[in-house]
Amino acid sequence: MSQSAKMGRPSLVNNDAVVDIVLRLTAKGKTLAEIADVVGVSERALYRWQESHDDFRQALKDARAKSDDQVEAALFRKAIGAVIEEDVFVVDKFGTEHRGTIKKELAPDSTACIFWLKNRQPDKWRDKIMHEGNPESPIVFAYPDPQKEDHEDSDN
C-alpha cells in the first residue's frame, strides 16, 4: 500500500446526492448535528467539509440565508398582522364532505413588534439606560423611608 493512499471510507462531500440533502436540510433550518445524523457522518466531518471545500461552505451559507430570510418574513408578518388562507375540511350534518379555503386575519403581535424594533433599531428601542455624570463618582440610590411615609399619611 502506498503512502499516499488514504485509509477509511471515501468522503461523501464529493457525492452530489449527499451534498444536495445537506443543503436542502440546511435551507429548512436543521442544525449541523441533525444533518450529520441524517446523512450518517459526524458533525465534525461537516465542519471539515466546510474548511476544505470553499464551494460547499458558500452553498451552506446561502442555504442558511434562505431559511433566515423565511424566519425574518414570518416574524415581520407576525409583528404587523396578516391575512392568511387556510384549507378546511368539514362534514355537514348530512354527512356530506366539504373542502374549501377560508381567510383568517392574524392580529399583530406586540412581542414580535418589540423584538423586531429592538433588533432593527437598537439605539431607539433598547432597554439599556444611559446615565450621564462623572464616571469616578459613586452612584447613589435614594429610597423613601416607608415608616416616615406611613406617619405622614396618618391623622393620629
pLDDT confidence of residue 124: 87
Tell me the per-residue pLDDT of 90-111, one tens digit each, with 9 for 90 and over: 999 999 999 999 999 999 999 9
- Measuring CA to CA, which residue among 102, 81, 76 is closest to residue 90? 102
- Domain 12-123 belongs to what topology? Arc Repressor Mutant, subunit A (1.10.10)
pLDDT confidence of residue 113: 94
- Measuring CA to CA, which residue among 74, 77, 101, 71 is closest to residue 89? 101
In the structure grid, which three cell numbers stand for residue 121, read together? 433599531
Are β-strands 82-91 and 97-106 bridged in parallel, bridged antiparallel, or unpaired?
A: antiparallel
What is the three-state SS of 49-116?
A: HHHHCHHHHHHHHHHHHHHHHHHHHHHHHHHHCEEEEEEEEEECCCCCEEEEEEEEEECCCHHHHHHH
Q: How far is CA 127 from CA 23, 100, 115, 119, 131, in A?
A: 38, 46, 11, 11, 13
Rounded Cα–Cα distance for residues 27 and 148 (Å): 63
Tell me the per-residue pLDDT of 27-69, one tens digit each, with 9 for 90 and over: 999 999 999 999 888 999 899 989 988 988 999 999 999 999 9
Domain locations in the chain as residue ranges: 12-123
Higher pLDDT, 73 or 12: 73
